[in-house]
Structure 1
Amino acid sequence: MTLAAPTALAQQSQDQLAQADAGLEIEEIVVTGSRISRSSLTAPTPLTVVDSQDIDLGAEVNIGEFLSQLPSVGVSTFSRTNSNFDINNSGVQTVNLRNLGSSRTLVLVNGRRFVSGVPGSAAVDLNSIPTAMIERVDVITGGAAAVYGSDAVAGVVNFVTKDDFEGMEVTGRYETTDEGDGEEKQVDVLVGGNFANGRGNATAYFGYTNQGAVFSRDRERTEVDSLSSVFFGGPVFGLSKPQLSSFPPQGRFDVFGTGGVGDDFTYLPDGTLVNNFSTNGDGDLDLSDANGFNRSAYRTIAVPTERFLSSFNLNFQAHERVNFFLESTYARTETQSRLEPLPLDGRDIFQDTGGLPAQYLNSAGDMISNPFVPQPILDALGTDGASDRIGFVRRLAEFGPRGSSNERQTFRVVAGLEGSIPGLEWDWDVSYNYGQTTQAQISQGQIDRQSFRNALFAEADPDNPGSFRCVDADARAEGCVPINIFGFDSISADALNYVSANQTRQARIEQNVVQANLTGGLVDIPTGGTLSFAAGVEYREEESRAVNDSLTRRGLNSSNRSPNVAGSFDVVEGYLELDAPILVDTFVDYFGISGAVRISDYSTVGGTETYEIRTELAPVNWVRLRGSYSRAVRAPNIDELFDPGTQTFSQVADPCDGIDASSTGTIAENCRANAGIADRIAQDGAFNLTQAERQGTMGFIGGNPDLQEETADTFTGGIVIAPEWFADFGIRTSLTADYFNIEVDDAIFAISQNNVLLECYSDPNFPNNPLCDNITRFGAGEPNQGALDQVDSGAANVGSLETSGLDFGFDMDMDLEQMGLPVPGVFSMGAVYTHLINYDVINLPGSEPDSEEGEIGSPKNAFNVNFRYLFDNWTFQWQMRYLGRSRIEDTDLTDADCLDLNCYTGAEVINDIQLRYQLPDFTDVASIEIYAGAENLFDNKPPLIGGGLTDNVTGTATAAGVYDAIGRSVYFGLRTRF
């Protein structure tokens, strides 16, 4: 990637100089952040612009991977290297400005909305936007909601596509890593031409990309399971290896109940069944080799992603003042996540008893034991068949790896008219925008819990001596086959087929947008320019539906209960924008004020208002001061509003645990108001929970139909310096410096179960706090009386976010021959740098802020700098990306801990290079360009972050959304133009 144009103003000031030198008229364009056409020098807010040449030199297949290298872009919620364990969103690529979340970043294509790629969310999957079709990308951070609407809290990313291409261009590219994996193959075909005597242009694109998998087993740091050695008193960024799973493919078995003695059985690698307890007498037999399972042998670092894309743009001048335009995009993305076979716990199947009954009734009414139970385990069982159980844990290796296949299809079409009004010279446009995303997901390696339970109750088959059948006649009629869980490869193919149940999900997202805009000049200001305006109305409808299979909805597979989520909303909006150039070429070069206001009416949250005011002052033509203040909003999305709640079992901290009759304070009084708690205090002297009561409290975490909009206040202020006097010496340069501050109030956060309990019981108005309705306890006289039965939680407007910092941009082009140097060609340097001053998150009103500046993913210092040399037909680029020293985020690690432990990464530097050569034209109709390069040239290794720590992405041993978890790769390509 190159950033020779760190800001629009810097780049376009150079464009103006170049055009002035050539005697050309400076074109007015629509700069992202405003809908008013203006000279490119009047960009009042910080704007980063990258064009198609920058993208080419970046050599990224996916535009989202390209953008993630900008310092102002935070960690993507979903990317190819951090989504393997998210079966619903594996392989999705989103953009996250200022680390405020993908839902607070508005993505546009040609200034219009793009349909979401994540059901229930506004997040756009950048896999659906063809990189080769992009003319430029404008990134504005903060303060754009008044112009573009909801979701622009952190800013806007606007993709401007090619719509006037002539000719044909074919590009092929191949990339592979040092390890020979992660292959990337890309083919692009771009074709276009004018028609109707130049009144129209049609541009079409067809592309295919295939990014191969990178497996954890193929990297030294991730080839075996590991934990951070902080758990063993060592450095945080060291790894303790191996830390293998204790769910072995041959199974571990415990005998418990009134007769059982807690025996622990397992199989050795040679198939011998041993009793840890009886062999060693104290349960200390080292069976780690026998019981260990290396999950990293199955996991991926990078999810394989295959894309088929097409795009078509059409412009036709139907009348002297009326132009018809059409944009269409189709994308099909296929991804395949991979992870280890399912770990099965007997408690998953026997939630009521915890294990397989030692004895049960067969179909004849006789008490029997499971015929597959080995004799040593039978011998260890007691005589009370009604209560003895066989607990087990087992890796279902016979099922093969788990994973999810996702096919996403996105279709978007925009049709409209644009033109001008005679006499007034006002421009107008009217358009209709329809977008649709569908998702078909199949997750393999899952089970049907009820079928598995049926298969475990087996008996001798009276009709086939020596064979076995399921006890339940109804289950047999449905094809039940007994399952043997004891030992290696003991599950038969027929039993596997019976208990297997792929998890499925079908989702559909639809977006309809109708908008009309009018822009032009109103009056001339005597001391300045023309007072210009833009005004418009917009109607938008969003609908999303995600449907799970019946087992998932009922919690009868390997997942907890997860409901269907469906919902919709619509919004009617109107906006007005004014731009007043008050002083032009007077005692100052330029002084102007502009602003915008937008009124919206949502079917969900009602009316909202956003506004923005901007000012610019250029005391001389090469210095410009700029500032802006804006109020933005984000309306809750469909998931946040309508998700009925997904089941969870978590260990929570009951604030009533330990309360007795003498305990004082609001919490104690509120706890004793519960009859069950009061009875236990009366009987036992205190409400002391057992360990079993503390574990696995059930609850549902979902949405909240009463949510209101988030509000954000954004301030930016800065300076642009673009001196002209070096131009005569062949040097063009610019420097920008901007301060930003974004505060988000009423932020929508998911309230944890612990916070639900704390907020309820610490409220003097208990039990009238609405959160108290989410808590259910066992009643007086019931078993476990007073203990928590269920704690539900969900989304609420309870949080706040604040981030501030400094952005710097530097750009310089030097014509070496014009400078009088003995070296020909042009040398360019571009850099963008962000210094993060603070980033505070408050999860609940009144709580202490969580300061995240300087943590992994939010470094205090980050920059991207590139050097580019152009000579004759050659282009060479060297790019360096820097992420400053960062602290691991973990609530269990205090500042005092970090005095003894290494809680910080070092600074990380990634270098990329590319060399291009334009072959001399060998025909009159074709040209060929070849290129090659390397990413992560010096094979910089990411910091080691073991499992169990917050920033670890499972299977990568690092924060894969932040650092390069793949390693060095090389690529080459060829482009032919006709």
Structure 2
Amino acid sequence: MKKSALSAAIKGALGVTSLAMMLPAVSMAQQGLDSIEEVVVTGSRIKRADLESVSPLTSIGAEEFKISGNLNVEQKLAELPSTLPSFGPSSNNPGDGTARVDLRGLGTSRTLVLVNGRRYIPATQAGVVDLNTIPGTLIKNVDVVTGGASAVYGSDALAGVVNFTMIDDFEGVEVTGLWDQTSEADGQKYNFDITMGGNFADGKGNATVYASYSGRDAVFQGDREFSKFALTESGGELVPGGSSGVPGTRVFGGPTIDPDGIPNSGDEFGLGTFGSDGSAQPWVEPDSRFNYAPDNYLQLPQERYLVNSFAHYEIAEGHEVYSEFAFAHNKVPQQLAPTPAFTTVEINPNSAFLDQATRDALAGETLNANGNYEAFIGRRMVENGPRQAVDTRDAFRLLVGLRGDISDAWSYDVYYSRANLDQSNLLNNDVAASRFKQAVATNDAGTACQDTSGGCVPMNIFGAGNISSEAVDFVNVGAANVTSITQEVFQASANGTLVTLPAASNPVGLVVGVESRADESTYRPDSFLSAGDVLGFNAGEATVGSYSSRELFGEIDIPLVEGAPFADSLSLWGAYRYSDYSNIGGVSSYATTLSWAPVEMVKLRTGYQRAVRAPNVSELFLGSSNGFPGAVDPCSAGGYSAAVDDATCIATGVAPGQVGVFAQANTQIESTFGGNAELEEETSNTFTFGAVIQPMDNLDIAIDYYSIEIDDAISVFGGNANNVLNICYTMEKDVNSPYCSAITRRADNNVDNISLLNANIGKIETAGVDFNVNYSQDLDFGIDGGSYLTVQFLSTYLQKFDVTPVQDLPNEVNECAGTFGNTCGSPLAEWQWNTRVTWASGPLTLSSLVRYIGETDDDTIANEGVDPSTLVVPKQDAKVYLDLSAGYAISDNFNVNFGIKNILDTEPTYTGDQQEQANTFPSTYDVLGPRYFVSASYKFQ
């Protein structure tokens, strides 16, 4: 390859564009394109020759995916400073088998994912697109537009848009493959693709077909030192801990045991658990807890098949039909430790399963009408095996369209698409709650159940390993849940130019169009789940609903002045969309941007966007289900402070004298989630101001300020479980408030459940600065006597991320910028940046990527005034990751790439009670250590 051609290819492939960068135009010119007739830039539907975006824009070329060795698309997007990592390969709990992108940390449902500028297959009832369904090998480039864009693209674009442009004019046959594994020789990932395409009918048409198979092997938390123990905070340090649901059975508030039968002899203790022989044992913190970590996935296994096709054919001069087809089969299991059975059971005080000291203690307790002792217990069902969930999604999308020219100045585009997704969720090793309780209540000898109906088998839960296989078979149940999602979109638009203003050389551009969209989905839970008769997984109800919209939209781009002194260019852009939703009625969104280049090398731009997001099917109609978010009970010993109102704790169920004294049983608190048909739309106001400076042809610098405010944000009631607890006990301090009413407690003082149904909460505000630099240079040394160097620096400074969780408490704000924890969630570092340096000469390409994630503080420091010195893990340390890769063109048709990711073996900070999972935040930080990859492609001409 000649040096000039190589230079242009590297620029085009690795170029990163931000806020109307002009670098792509330079790249194309160097590739020998004499003219550019029509180019559509993400962020606007207006076709423009100057390649100017109307919002801050980052573009990732196809070469970046190849050289970085990313098999899954979400891993590359998660490296961008403007995104917050979301569900991905390590999202086991929480997780649902999908891979997502989250712009600005505002939530995946507020990031609109497009393919070729059009809506793609929704993978959940929230309308979120699973990035697993997008073929990475076919990506031409990915444009990331941050800030509200619903005036252009419709609902869901409050945080921005991620648009995947796919290769749809391929010629030849290309085979590609990728394999990688960790330095521990585990966690293998592999991928095999074949792409075929060609022109037909004398060049009037082209068809491209793509097929792919991908696999990913499991890694367990027990396979890594930092995650093999569930860490907890005790005595001012991190120690191995875990769950109070233990294989020996935990008894909460049990009677006093006197082993020698002599009162006040000093050997008495409260019954906490049982030895394997049924003997009573005290509960010792944290030694008695169950280590649930080893059974959990650290990397989820995956099996994926993709089939895609793109075709277009010119049916008449200037008129073309086109189509897109996609099919994706994606299977992702999840695995958790065996069922923790937290429930009230009846214990026969004369049971042979118990030792004499326990029988003596129970004889003095109050018994129920059946003569049994009622106890709230935590029993880990290790004999039943780990809980497993297997999510299988079969997705299908078909799009047909017609586009062409109306005149020399106007063109049209009409298309219809239909997307379907069927998901099966198979649950294994669940435990039926009713059968569990029935099997525990046995006769004195332990040979039969007190209630023998249904073939009950007596179950000995008093001591680890004491449950027989027959009893396991009696209580074990599986479940099968089915979700079906359908989305239909029809859109018609016309794009053209109007008059040219006197001081401008380019005409006014205009787009007008109509769109109709219908979303419908159903979730049908298994009968065990819908009845709530399950201990191993969350109880759930059916979710059935639909909504539709009819929309009108338009855009206008007005070049005001061009080529004048102090105004090399001055233009005004505007967009408006009116949407009539079947569930919320009519809403409007609009946007405007003013761009001014006083001289050719400097461009300034300021913009405002008013965006809306309608509530989706999940938010509106989600059936009640239970989850276990992390939270700290302010009434417990671990959460108590001077701000807590003791009277409110007592009024909601804490025993007098136990406020600030009792120990919280688990760091995760059961909560009920569900939809709300009365939800209203979210609205956002986005302001951007930026500048692009090009002091020379091979250097551009972009700086953008953004401010996004979302009002009536849709979230769970109160924002999260932690907020509800804090608002009840430290702010409102009124047992009749809706926040206190949402909390119920058990007899042992612990929170039993928090009702967190969806609601329009207060607002979310975020602001920051993006600073990006791109540099490229021809060098006079290398394999062919020359080489090419590119340096790309992307960074984001997060100035503010404030969440007002309650509309009627506007002064109570959670400050989340630079924090992590149960209130603010995953780390929101104030500083994030990455730098890609690539050197290419002849057939060889060498590249390095340095990624930086700044340190974050425990969110209780900023929001609750907690002294950092009192915290076991007051901060997440800053992390630096280094990836190295190389590519070599063995021939014109045969290319190989290989490299090492996280070569420095940067490990996450050990985290205790504020973690997401695996003692850290695996969506944010690398948890598997160095990875080695190799990929190759061969093209048959």
Matching residue's letter, 1:104: R
- Quote the Cα distance in structure 2 between the aligned partners of 1:761 and 1:149: 40
Residues 1:815 and 2:778 aligned together:
yes
Gaps of 5+ in 1: 235-239, 277-282, 359-368, 461-465, 655-665, 727-731, 922-926
Q: Is contact 1:5–1:48 with CA below 8 Å preserved after alignment?
A: no
Residues 1:176 and 2:181 aligned together:
yes
Gaps of 5+ in 2: 1-9, 259-267, 636-644, 821-826
Residues 1:378 and 2:359 aligned together:
yes
- Please list the CA deviations of residues 781-820 of structure 1 after superposition, one character each: whole Å capped at 9, or x if unmatched: xx99xx99997553222311111111111111111129x9
Structure exhibiting the larger radius of gyration computed from Cα positions: 1
- Quote the Cα distance in structure 2 between the aligned partners of 1:695 and 1:748: 30
CA distance 1:216–1:758, shift in 2 (3 Å): closer
Q: Is contact 1:454–1:475 with CA below 8 Å preserved after alignment?
A: no
State the secondary structure of the residue aligned to 2:359. Answer: helix
State the secondary structure of the residue aligned to 2:80. Answer: coil
- Quote the Cα distance in structure 2 between the aligned partners of 1:791 and 1:489: 33
State the secondary structure of the residue aligned to 1:100. Answer: coil
- Please list the CA deviations of residues 24-52 of structure 1 after superposition, one character each: whole Å capped at 9, or x if unmatched: 11343110111010024422321101111
- Quote the Cα distance in structure 1 between the aligned partners of 2:744 and 2:219: 47
Mapping for residues 934-973 of structure 1, pairs under 5 Å: 934-946=900-912, 948-949=913-914, 952-955=915-918, 957-973=919-935
Residues 1:413 and 2:398 aligned together:
yes
CA apart distance, 1:241: 3.0
Mapping for residues 63-142 of structure 1, pairs under 5 Å: 63-76=73-86, 78-81=87-90, 83-86=91-94, 89-119=95-125, 121-142=126-147
1:729 maps to none
State the secondary structure of the residue aligned to 1:187. Answer: strand
- Please list the CA deviations of residues 120-139 of structure 1 after superposition, one character each: whole Å capped at 9, or x if unmatched: x0221111111111111010
- Quote the Cα distance in structure 2 between the aligned partners of 1:699 and 1:217: 28
- Quote the Cα distance in structure 1 between the aligned partners of 2:907 and 2:743: 49
Residues 1:619 and 2:616 aligned together:
no
Farther off after superposition, 642-651 or 311-320:
642-651
Q: Choose from 584, 588, 599 the match for 2:578.
A: 599
1:357 maps to 348
CA distance 1:273–1:747, shift in 2 (3 Å): closer
Q: Choose from 502, 508, 511 the match for 1:526.
A: 502
CA distance 1:940–1:256, shift in 2 (3 Å): closer
Q: Is contact 2:389–2:427 with CA below 8 Å preserved after alignment?
A: yes
CA distance 1:481–1:897, shift in 2 (3 Å): same
Matching residue's letter, 2:323: L
CA distance 1:459–1:653, shift in 2 (3 Å): same
Q: Is contact 1:10–1:735 with CA below 8 Å preserved after alignment?
A: no
- Quote the Cα distance in structure 2 between the aligned partners of 1:376 and 1:30: 80
CA apart distance, 1:620: 2.4
2:612 maps to 633
Farther off after superposition, 374-383 or 45-54:
374-383
1:222 maps to 227
CA apart distance, 1:861: 1.2
Q: Choose from 881, 886, 891 the match for 2:851.
A: 881
Residues 1:850 and 2:814 aligned together:
yes
2:432 maps to 448
1:482 maps to 458
Q: Choose from 291, 296, 304 the match for 1:294.
A: 291
CA apart distance, 1:945: 1.3
- Quote the Cα distance in structure 2 between the aligned partners of 1:241 and 1:652: 20
- Please list the CA deviations of residues 75-132 of structure 1 after superposition, one character each: whole Å capped at 9, or x if unmatched: 31x2222x2123xx4331111101111111111111111132122x022111111111
Q: Choose from 483, 486, 501 the match for 1:507.
A: 483
1:146 maps to 151
CA distance 1:67–1:17, shift in 2 (3 Å): closer
- Quote the Cα distance in structure 2 between the aligned partners of 1:264 and 1:357: 15
Matching residue's letter, 1:579: D
- Quote the Cα distance in structure 1 between the aligned partners of 2:286 and 2:646: 45
State the secondary structure of the residue aligned to 1:827. Answer: strand
Residues 1:741 and 2:730 aligned together:
no
Q: Is contact 2:19–2:55 with CA below 8 Å preserved after alignment?
A: no
Mapping for residues 278-427 of structure 1, pairs under 5 Å: 291-345=288-342, 348-350=343-345, 355-358=346-349, 369-370=350-351, 372-374=353-355, 377-382=358-363, 386=368, 389=373, 391=375, 392-422=377-407, 424-427=408-411
CA apart distance, 1:10: 6.7
CA apart distance, 1:411: 1.1
Farther off after superposition, 749-758 or 581-590:
749-758
2:271 maps to 264
Q: Is contact 2:279–2:355 with CA below 8 Å preserved after alignment?
A: no
2:937 maps to 975
Q: Choose from 58, 65, 68 the match for 1:55.
A: 65
Residues 1:643 and 2:622 aligned together:
yes
Q: Is contact 2:254–2:271 with CA below 8 Å preserved after alignment?
A: no
- Please list the CA deviations of residues 753-774 of structure 1 after superposition, one character each: whole Å capped at 9, or x if unmatched: 875996899999999x9x5997
CA distance 1:344–1:138, shift in 2 (3 Å): same
CA distance 1:851–1:114, shift in 2 (3 Å): same
State the secondary structure of the residue aligned to 1:738. Answer: strand
- Quote the Cα distance in structure 1 between the aligned partners of 2:348 and 2:678: 47
1:711 maps to 683
CA distance 1:255–1:898, shift in 2 (3 Å): closer
CA apart distance, 1:401: 1.0
- Please list the CA deviations of residues 636-691 of structure 1 after superposition, one character each: whole Å capped at 9, or x if unmatched: 1222222243357999889xxxxxxxxxxx999xx9xxxx999x9xxx9x999999
- Quote the Cα distance in structure 2 between the aligned partners of 1:628 and 1:520: 23
1:34 maps to 44
CA apart distance, 1:223: 2.0
Q: Is contact 1:942–1:965 with CA below 8 Å preserved after alignment?
A: yes
State the secondary structure of the residue aligned to 1:497. Answer: helix
2:53 maps to 43
- Quote the Cα distance in structure 1 between the aligned partners of 2:651 and 2:446: 53
Residues 1:915 and 2:886 aligned together:
yes
CA distance 1:852–1:257, shift in 2 (3 Å): closer
CA distance 1:263–1:69, shift in 2 (3 Å): closer
State the secondary structure of the residue aligned to 1:32. Answer: coil
CA apart distance, 1:888: 2.5
CA apart distance, 1:459: 4.6
Q: Over aligned residues, Cα RMSD in angstroms?
A: 3.8
CA distance 1:113–1:474, shift in 2 (3 Å): same
CA distance 1:161–1:18, shift in 2 (3 Å): closer
Q: Choose from 904, 907, 911 the match for 2:875.
A: 904
Residues 1:806 and 2:778 aligned together:
no
CA apart distance, 1:175: 0.5
- Quote the Cα distance in structure 2 between the aligned partners of 1:750 and 1:108: 27
Q: Is contact 2:793–2:835 with CA below 8 Å preserved after alignment?
A: yes
Q: Choose from 512, 519, 527 the match for 1:535.
A: 512
- Please list the CA deviations of residues 496-551 of structure 1 after superposition, one character each: whole Å capped at 9, or x if unmatched: 11111123321111111111111001222222121110011001111122121122
**Paired residue total:** 885
State the secondary structure of the residue aligned to 1:864. Answer: strand
- Quote the Cα distance in structure 1 between the aligned partners of 2:730 and 2:232: 37
Q: Is contact 2:742–2:756 with CA below 8 Å preserved after alignment?
A: no
2:525 maps to 548
Q: Is contact 1:322–1:418 with CA below 8 Å preserved after alignment?
A: yes
Q: Is contact 1:736–1:809 with CA below 8 Å preserved after alignment?
A: yes
Matching residue's letter, 1:196: A
Q: Is contact 1:552–1:561 with CA below 8 Å preserved after alignment?
A: yes
Matching residue's letter, 2:454: A
2:162 maps to 157
Residues 1:721 and 2:693 aligned together:
yes
Matching residue's letter, 2:819: E
2:560 maps to 582
Matching residue's letter, 1:482: P
CA distance 1:850–1:837, shift in 2 (3 Å): same
Matching residue's letter, 2:92: N
Residues 1:833 and 2:824 aligned together:
no
Farther off after superposition, 558-567 or 141-150:
558-567
- Quote the Cα distance in structure 1 between the aligned partners of 2:251 and 2:685: 58
Q: Choose from 743, 759, 767 the match for 1:796.
A: 759
